[in-house]
Amino acid sequence: MGFYICKAISVGPFRFNLSKSGVGVSAGVKGLRFGTGPRGNYVHMGRGGLYYRKTLPSGSTGRNQTPNSPELQQSNTEIEHEPLKEIESAHITHMVDSSSADLVAEMNANRKKVRLWPFIAVLGAILTFVVFKNSETPTLALVVAAVSVALTIFASVKDSLRKTTVLFFELEPEIEALYQKLHDSFGQLSSSSSKWHVEAEGAVKDRKRNAGATSVIKRTSISLGIGNPPYVKTNVSVPSIPVGKQTLYFFPDKVLIFEPNGVGAVSYPNLRISVESTRFIEDGSVPRDAKVVDRTWKYVNKRGGPDKRFKDNRELPIALYEDLNFTSDTGLNERIEISRVGHGDGFSSAIAMLAKSI
């Protein structure tokens, strides 16, 4: 129930009700009127300036339903939310399937080999210093220094060869065509104005004070690229996606996962990529290729409109983005988000076709 004092102006059968919230219009007979106003539809009863009003439920859809849209996300981690749940893969040693076990073991063994050049460099510097101190002429010390530098460079090159794995592919025409489709679809992903790695997600506690969002995500801007993994030589161009401390490299037959402490692998038949659109509340600038599908307010009332109790209540755009989730039974669990919708399916389809061909 709600009682209040208001003013009204009658024009024919209609009455225009004036209040602090705005202007509404109603129609009916004395003592019973139905109308609509800034706060929605209502029934209005009473006389002499003392009234009773009851808000009626609305059957409308769209923008007024913003607080009830379960897919709304926001990246403002300063708002009140449940503890963020990390979206991360299992330990790198677990992400190995049977078809890649030997290759991963070789690559990890090579990466663990100790570098020799730092020891040779230090030994050469000490030897040069000793010769310089005990020699009557600097010529011998210069010769020792030159030899030490040459040995250090040779050892550095040798270290790189010892730690490097060579992957040479002879692709059949069918596989080569499918791998080219992967490159083409990857180029579409890369062409998006903005790309993010989604690190964590948490549920929002108070949706009305947080633009109606249902969840908060922590994300980092990333760049997609083409290039070889560290200590790998190959005859193909390899698309790569950075996902936090790990980087995914998409080879013709599998995705190799690299991180500072090791290498993992998931063959394409064991890789799952799900693509879904998400409505995202942007509190910053909207990427130029993103589609704005709706708008909301920093503080919303229960009908989706602006909560007028807050003076700094600004309107926020709701953009449509696309999420790509990479998972496997061996523990891969990563998510990226792109600003342009419609390109994720092509990349997922290219991976699926390569998986069928293996």
3-state DSSP assignment of residue 97:
coil
Sequence-distant (≥ 6) Cβ neighbours of residue 80 within 8 angstroms: 204, 205, 206, 209, 210
In this prediction, residue 111 carries a pLDDT of 80
Distance CA(135)–CA(132), nearest Å, equals: 5
In this prediction, residue 3 carries a pLDDT of 45
Tell me the one-letter amino acid at 123.
L
182-207 mean pLDDT: 88
Cα 155 to Cα 76, 114, 145, 233, distances in angstroms: 50, 11, 15, 19
| Residue from 327, 323, 351 nearest 195 by CA | 323
Higher pLDDT, residue 32 or 101: 101
28-42 mean pLDDT: 63
- Asked if residue 80 has pLDDT above 70, the reply is no
Q: What is the pLDDT of residues 101-111, one digit of tens each?
A: 898 888 888 88
Lowest mean pLDDT among 302-306, 330-334, 335-339: 302-306
- Asked if residue 286 has pLDDT above 70, the reply is yes
| Residue from 98, 152, 159, 94 nearest 120 by CA | 152
Distance CA(321)–CA(340), nearest Å, equals: 6
256-283 mean pLDDT: 92
Give Dmax (Cα) for the chain.
119
**287 band by pLDDT with thresholds 50, 70 and 90:** very high
- Asked if residue 159 has pLDDT above 80, the reply is no
b/e sequence 144-181, b meaning 16+ C-beta within 10 Å: bbeebeebbeebeeebeeebebebeeeeeeebeebbeb
In this prediction, residue 345 carries a pLDDT of 95
In this prediction, residue 192 carries a pLDDT of 95
Q: What is the pLDDT of residues 107-132, one digit of tens each?
A: 888 888 888 888 888 988 888 888 88
Percent of the chain topping pLDDT 70: 74
**96 band by pLDDT with thresholds 50, 70 and 90:** confident
Going edge to edge, which strands form the sheet with 22-29? 3-4, 50-55, 40-47, 32-37, 22-29, 14-19, 7-11
In this prediction, residue 2 carries a pLDDT of 44
In this prediction, residue 224 carries a pLDDT of 96
Q: Are 264 and 285 in contact (CB under 8 A)?
A: no
| Residue from 102, 95, 103, 151 nearest 123 by CA | 151
Helix (H) or strand (E) holding 287: none
Tell me the one-letter amino acid at 261.
N
**68 band by pLDDT with thresholds 50, 70 and 90:** very low
Percent of the chain topping pLDDT 90: 37
- Pairing state between β 333-338 and 315-327: antiparallel
In this prediction, residue 86 carries a pLDDT of 84
227-246 mean pLDDT: 93
232-240 mean pLDDT: 94
- Asked if residue 322 has pLDDT above 90, the reply is yes
In this prediction, residue 269 carries a pLDDT of 94
- Asked if residue 7 has pLDDT above 60, the reply is no
**299 band by pLDDT with thresholds 50, 70 and 90:** confident
In this prediction, residue 214 carries a pLDDT of 74
- Name the most confidently modeled range: 9-23, 159-173, 216-230: 216-230
**160 band by pLDDT with thresholds 50, 70 and 90:** confident
Count the neighbouring beta carbons within 10 Å of the beta carbon of residue 121: 17
In this prediction, residue 260 carries a pLDDT of 87
- Asked if residue 60 has pLDDT above 70, the reply is no
Q: What is the mean pLDDT of the chain?
A: 80
Higher pLDDT, residue 236 or 306: 236
| Residue from 337, 314, 97 nearest 218 by CA | 337
